[in-house]
Chain A
Amino acid sequence: DGGITQSPKYLFRKEGQNVTLSCEQNLNHDAMYWYRQDPGQGLRLIYYSQIVNDFQKGDIAEGYSVSREKKESFPLTVTSAQKNPTAFYLCASSMTANYGYTFGSGTRLTVV
């Protein structure tokens, strides 16, 4: 079955540590995205990539980094520079930007 897999589902980290969230898709989609969701707020775009080896900052990129070395994979690193990293992180992919997105099941990151 084609889909998009995020791991882990829950992640706990100490303040000041970097952490990497995994996102893998087998849909052969060119475009991939990372969103952050906080209670009472819409999904906010962190980074997106339209093609391998290329990515662009979204609206809230500060304190985050990504890579896109393979079409299937788009990992997100939450660095210690991110002021408020506790949130629900969603990865998505699409054929192109104007098609419906397929989302993963999310990673809930808690920083203590």
Chain B
Amino acid sequence: SQKIEQNSEALNIQEGKTATLTCNYTNYSPAYLQWYRQDPGRGPVFLLLIRENEKEKRKERLKVTFDTTLKQSLFHITASQPADSATYLCAGGATNKLIFGTGTLLAVQP
């Protein structure tokens, strides 16, 4: 079945460092990948979309890459802040819908 896989272990980093989260896809080739932020008890918030013909996309302190050879997307937050602490969800485009990963919890320590 089509799958989006994210590291289920929490990522702990120090304030000011770059956080890098990984998303892998299996059994299909998504035309695009999306990244969302989710805070506890809230709905996800859309951050970035990258298409398969784009290698990299940036938005302020965020950067996302799409490697069709490795079947992977990397999501980077530079100069991380405690306010960036949240769960980050990766989602892959499928026919008329998105397939979501389980998310990675990021904790930025002051």
Contacts and interface: CB of A to CB of B under 8 A. Distances in A.
A100 B34 contact: yes
Interface in B57-105: 89, 91, 93, 95-103
A98 B93 contact: yes
Interface residues of A, number: 27
Contacts of A108: 41
B44 interface: yes
Main secondary structure of the interface of B (DSSP, over half): strand
Interface string B34-56: 10100001111110010000000
B46 A100 contact: yes
A35 B93 CA distance: 15
Query: Which residue, of A45, A48, A50, A98, has the highest number of chain B Cβ atoms within 10 A?
Result: A98
A42 B34 contact: no
A99 B49 contact: yes
Given A42-B102, A100-B49, A48 B96 contact: yes
A105 B41 CA distance: 8
Interface of A: 6, 31, 33, 35, 40-45, 48, 50, 56, 58, 90, 92, 97-106, 108
Given A43-B89, A43-B91, 11 more contacts: A33-B97, A40-B8, A40-B102, A44-B100, A45-B99, A48-B97, A98-B31, A98-B93, A101-B44, A101-B98, A103-B45
23 contacts: A31-B96, A40-B8, A41-B102, A42-B89, A42-B101, A43-B89, A43-B91, A44-B100, A45-B97, A45-B98, A45-B99, A58-B97, A90-B43, A90-B44, A97-B97, A98-B31, A98-B32, A98-B49, A100-B34, A101-B34, A101-B98, A102-B46, A106-B42
Interface of B: 4, 8, 31-32, 34, 36, 41-46, 49, 89, 91, 93, 95-103
